[in-house]
Chain A
Amino acid sequence: MACGTALALPSDEQLLACWQEGRREALEELFRRYRLVAYRVAYRLLGNEADALDAVQEAFVKALTHLSGFQGLSSFKTWLLRVVSNAALDFGRQRGRREMLSMDMFGPAQREGLEPLVQAEPTRELERADLRRLLVEALDQLPPAQRQTFVLHAEAELSYREVADVLGISIGTVMSRLYYARQKLRALLESWTKNR
């Protein structure tokens, strides 16, 4: 697909074509479109902001330097999320997730002096952080394949079909993995919901 000159709302494919012609602003637009969902997927799989950002950066570099692997059979978004989730799982394996979880006890804002965009009421924010940490710990107890399937569905809001395409598995396997992931998460969250 050729790179247009000044498109009001270029498609992902047009942006990729523009980037391949050397237009850096196309890369920035692609990044702007998918950075947040990519970050949230990585965060859920890694449990802290710094590593999630590293995983996102690595995934974008990988995706853009291996565009030949993107054959257009799925959307760029779903293909990118596959790269992101694989990169995040690799990070988790390399660095040891237990250590990362302890790093996140103080929340993202305290670590690098970066203030989050939305500063909620302190008590509420603590409760949310507590829940988030609990979910990360619960996810950590799932096998990587179940964790990846659940996060792609729940966080990236991919349909069962999209998750199946992204991971190269059947829809039945997606449903089974989601079922077992939910069973485990529910059991682990039960105490938390009772104490609310």
Chain B
Amino acid sequence: MIPHPTLHWNEILAAYADGEFEGRDDLAILKQRVEDWLARHPEAVQELAQLRQLKAAWQESTPDEPAPAAWQRIVQALAKSPNRATRPRRPWKRGAVVAAALAACVVAGVAIWSTRFRGAVEPAPAPVAVADDEPLPVAAAHEVEILRVEGADTQTLVVGALPVQGPLELAGPGEVTVTSVQPAVRDNMMPEVRTQGPGRPMIWARLDTD
């Protein structure tokens, strides 16, 4: 299991309760963090207990196994179903395929001949005009599942794949020159400016600005 960058703490706690961190060396640090968190937060311990209570209720209500006669009925039905992998070969099938291919070639040839030499090409249908403000349905309501809307996303809800996956590099190394650095108003601290390596200056552009 690889932690998702936008996971809620409760989701990580649920993964811990589900044993997803067990036997995973790569998640040992995360597991330790969860346990440290539990040691400091009684409400988290209560949350963990509720998760385990739900799991216990689920297991307690496990459906009983059906009677053997019910299984037997299904086995008999399965035995009657065709086994496509063992279906006998049909020697006539190859001939039929060849005949169909030849027929398709003849039809295509006639179509090309009639188009080139008769010159009677029907005009293409006129495109249907679509008003600029007419919505174009791309998915029905039941085909979209919104799992979470939070923060700035509430202003711009995006349904579907994002146009850009991962970081969008606006300028490369050497294309940015830092001409002046001002101390922060809040604490009067000067930022540390790195010009080399992965910590080089970054430009953040707000999409809603001019």
Name A's B-contacting residues (CB within 8 A).
Answer: 19-22, 24, 27-28, 31, 35-36, 39-40, 43-44, 49, 52-53, 56-57, 60-61, 64-65, 67, 108, 114-118, 128, 131-132, 135, 143, 145, 153-155, 159-161, 170-173, 175-180, 182, 185-186, 189, 192-193
Contacts and interface: CB of A to CB of B under 8 A. Distances in A.
B83 A117 contact: no
Contacts of A57: 74, 77-78
B51 A182 contact: yes
A56 B61 CA distance: 20
Contacts of B12: 175
Given A22-B86, A116-B67, A40 B74 contact: no
A64 B64 contact: no
Interface stretch (B13-21, B95-103, B185-193): B13-21
Contact of A60 (B11, B50, B66, B78): B78
A145 B5 CA distance: 22
Interface stretch (B30-38, B52-60, B120-128): B52-60
Contact of A172 (B6, B63, B73): B6
B58 A118 contact: no
A194 to B, nearest CB: 12
Contacts of A67: 84-85
A108 B66 contact: yes
Contacts of A131: 57, 60-61
A53 B70 contact: yes
B65 interface: yes
B58 A135 contact: yes
Contact of A189 (B8, B54, B77): B54
A55 B93 CA distance: 34
A44 B75 contact: no
B78 A114 contact: no
Nearest to A62: B81
B54 A186 contact: yes
Given A21-B86, A108-B66, A117-B67, A182 B54 contact: yes
Contact of B1 (A56, A135, A171): A171
Contacts of A153: 18
Contacts of B7: 172, 175-176
B147 A53 contact: no
Nearest to B80: A61
9 contacts: A20-B85, A31-B74, A39-B63, A53-B74, A65-B82, A108-B66, A116-B64, A143-B145, A159-B1
A122 B102 CA distance: 72
Contacts of B14: 175, 178-179, 182
B74 A35 contact: yes
Given A114-B69, A175-B7, A160 B64 contact: no
Contacts of B113: none
Contact of A193 (B57, B81, B84): B57
Interface string B99-126: 0000000000000000000000000000
B55 A160 contact: no
Given A24-B79, A64-B78, A154-B58, 11 more contacts: A19-B83, A31-B75, A35-B71, A61-B77, A67-B85, A117-B67, A159-B20, A160-B18, A172-B6, A192-B57, A193-B53
